[in-house]
């Protein structure tokens, strides 16, 4: 699921596109024995984001929430992003083939596009978003890594910490353990603290 170019990761991708990033995408380990049903039940909220290609002074949190439904061959994800400056919501949807999870590994590609609040496409074309779900306990936290290389060789990457609670202070202890394992720390991330995020009444 981010701000992949699905709007959940939309803020991240926009931010990470600001500057060229010369390193290649990291081959990070994905969650094994992944339980699709448990993960895609209920809502997730983006609480912390980190884009390596963005300068420190441009760190910004993103008020994002996501929910999903499991279809016969696909997971359909829906994203709502609140923009406090204009007091508006933006939306996107994504589709993930269930075949990615047949081996129980949470490494997949989400096909995402921007939609309106009624789910009608604003842009018909889909954008492929490669995602690695690094770790989750299903009930409290999830850590996602997005990375892609554009045609001009520019690498765009972003990390997202998700929570079942829209609260930047609610960080499960496992999160910092996992971040340390991949060479990161919580201080690297921007959070939603102080953003005055609002729950989407239509989501």
Residue for token pair 């999870």: 101
Residue 53 has pLDDT above 70, yes or no: no
Q: What is the pTM of this model?
A: 0.88
Average model confidence (pLDDT) across the chain: 87
C-alpha to C-alpha distance for 59 and 194, rounded to whole angstroms: 13
Tens digits of residue pLDDT in 171-184: 999 999 999 999 99
Tens digits of residue pLDDT in 118-165: 999 998 999 999 999 999 999 999 999 999 888 888 888 899 999 999
Give the pLDDT of residue 24: 85
**Percentage of residues in the chain having pLDDT higher than 70:** 85
Range of 16-20, 48-52, 142-146 with top mean pLDDT? 142-146
Q: Which domains does the chain have, with CATH numbers?
A: 7-191 (2.40.128.20)
Q: Cα dist. 49→3, 32, 59 in Å?
A: 9, 23, 8
Give the pLDDT of residue 170: 86
Q: What are phi and psi of 68, to 5 degrees?
A: -150, 160
Give the pLDDT of residue 30: 98
Give the pLDDT of residue 152: 84
Confidence band of 90 (pLDDT split at 50, 70, 90): very high
User: Which residues have a Cβ under 8 Å from the Cβ of 193 and sit 6 or more positions away?
Assistant: 61, 168, 169
Q: Take residue 191 and report the two structure tokens written for it.
A: 């959070």
What is the rounded average pLDDT of the residues 10-25?
Answer: 52
User: For residue 174, what is the enclosing H or E element?
Assistant: helix 173-181
The count of C-alpha atoms lying within 13 angstroms of the C-alpha of 150, restricted to the half-sphere facing its C-beta, is 12
C-alpha to C-alpha distance for 186 and 203, rounded to whole angstroms: 29
Q: Cα dist. 121→4, 17, 73, 167 in Å?
A: 16, 23, 21, 30
């Amino acid at each position: 699921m981010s701000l992949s170019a699905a709007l959940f990761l939309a803020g991240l991708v926009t931010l990470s596109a600001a500057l060229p990033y010369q390193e290649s995408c990291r081959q990070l380990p994905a969650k094994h024995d992944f339980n699709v049903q448990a993960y895609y039940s209920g809502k997730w909220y983006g609480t912390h984001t980190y884009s390596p290609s963005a300068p420190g002074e441009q760190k910004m949190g993103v008020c994002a929430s996501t929910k999903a439904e499991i279809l016969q061959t696909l997971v359909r994800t829906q994203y709502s992003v609140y923009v406090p400056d204009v007091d508006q919501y933006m939306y996107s949807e994504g589709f993930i083939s269930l075949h990615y999870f047949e081996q129980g590994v949470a490494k997949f590609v989400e096909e995402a596009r921007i939609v309106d609040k009624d789910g009608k496409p604003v842009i018909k074309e889909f954008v492929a978003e490669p995602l690695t779900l690094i770790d989750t306990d299903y009930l409290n936290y999830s850590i996602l890594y997005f990375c892609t290389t554009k045609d001009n060789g520019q690498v765009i990457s972003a990390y997202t910490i998700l929570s079942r609670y829209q609260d930047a202070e609610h960080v499960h202890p496992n999160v910092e353990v996992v971040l340390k394992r991949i060479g990161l720390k919580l201080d690297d991330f921007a959070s939603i603290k102080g953003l005055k995020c609002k729950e989407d009444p239509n989501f």
